[in-house]
Amino acid sequence: MASSAGKKVLIAAGKTGGHMFPAFALGESLSERACEVVFVTGGAKIENIILQGKNLKTIPLPAPRLKGMGFWQQASGVSRLPGILLKALSIVHKEAPVLVIGFGGAAAGPTVLAGKILRKRTAICEQNAVLGFTNSVLAPLVDKVFLGVENTKGRFGVGRFEVVGTPVRKEILAVEPKQYSTRARRVLVTGGSQGALFLNTHVPDVLGSVAKDIRDIEVIHQTGVGNAKWVQQRYDALGVNARCVEFISDMAQAYDWAEFIIARAGASTIAEITAIGIPALLIPFARASDNHQVHNAKILVEAGASLMCEEKDFVVDSVASTISSLLADNNRLEEMASASRKLGRRDALERLTTRVLELLER
């Protein structure tokens, strides 16, 4: 759309790949349409790893997380908010974007609020099945709220909502759908961009037990920074053919390799595995705000696309038995893969891009 060419969009996201990857997908899509895109991120260490090799203009805005923190951490964070908002106002004033759009995370709140104060067009994206704390505060203020799933909890009484799906990177959309003519043996374990201590601690024991039934099982496990060595040692001690890495920079390649996923239930992970159609065991993060990962996972479970085991119900032998049976049942895997693909919103990036361009052209 020619009228949006050269217009600037400020995209705020940070702290996790779950916020950043959909934001980057939108940024790249807008750049291809001749928009100027600037990212505001939280300045966390994991962001530097995610950003490595990407030619993106980014501005750090370190901001404290408030939801789920202890009293003193919240008090300290609240005391910093005026200064953070002033910095956000300075960023928005200097960059002079037409639109400010937030994807969640602590940096998104003050950035979008600054955009509203300076009378910019504003929007937020909520990927999870429960509206997050930052987005709950911003939803009544912004011009548009884009949702990843239907019936997002917390949206009541607020207009301007539209379900578009969660954007998935183009290289992941290019991965071929899974086919299961025989049993599966390649398992990808991921707790997200930062890893997951619970998965790092318990999943090697599970797959060690599975390997007694499926001797040619192969595992790739994304552990998070600083954890690959000790998790690898555990797999080695159990005799499992596993490769542990701190961070997988090419998730498309990992998904292409994998036949089964063991993962947290973050919205971006779910969007990616349903875009391809990969059977999964989802283990929601027990301390996720508003238990949103359980709500995310339930959507797949109810559709027959995945299994779910909450941390409180996790028993190594039971989980191992379930996985062993499933990997050996190619018909069940094929049914789960088909159900997963039906849930996937492969057009989410194009839909969101179109709506953002419409906001730019108002």
Where exactly are the structural domains of the chain? Answer: 2-168+346-360, 173-343
pLDDT level of residue 80 (50, 70, 90 thresholds): low
Of the listed ranges 4-8, 161-165, 293-297, the one predicted with least confidence? 4-8
Choose the CATH number for 2-168+346-360 among 3.30.70.980, 3.40.50.10470, 3.40.50.2000, 3.40.50.10860.
3.40.50.2000
* Residues 294, 311, 198, 216, CA torsion sign: negative
pTM for the model: 0.86
Give the list of residues 6+ apart from residue 5 with CB closer than 8 angstroms, or none: 33, 34, 35
Q: Residue 325 — left, alpha, or beta (φ > 0 → left; ψ -120 to 50 → alpha)?
A: alpha
- Amino acid, res. 88: A
Angle at which helices 348-360 and 17-32 cross, to 10°: 60
Give residue 310's pLDDT: 96
Q: Residue 224 — left, alpha, or beta (φ > 0 → left; ψ -120 to 50 → alpha)?
A: left
Q: What is residue 44's three-state secondary structure? A: coil
pLDDT level of residue 72 (50, 70, 90 thresholds): very low
> CA 338 to CA 340: how far, in whole Å?
5
Average pLDDT of the residues of the chain? 89
> CA 121 to CA 100: how far, in whole Å?
6
Segment 45-70, tens digit of pLDDT: 777 777 776 777 889 897 655 555 55
**Residue that the structure tokens 């408030």 belong to:** 66
Segment 174-192, tens digit of pLDDT: 999 999 988 899 999 998 7
Choose the CATH number for 173-343 among 3.20.20.80, 2.60.120.20, 3.40.50.2000, 3.40.50.1000.
3.40.50.2000
pLDDT level of residue 18 (50, 70, 90 thresholds): confident
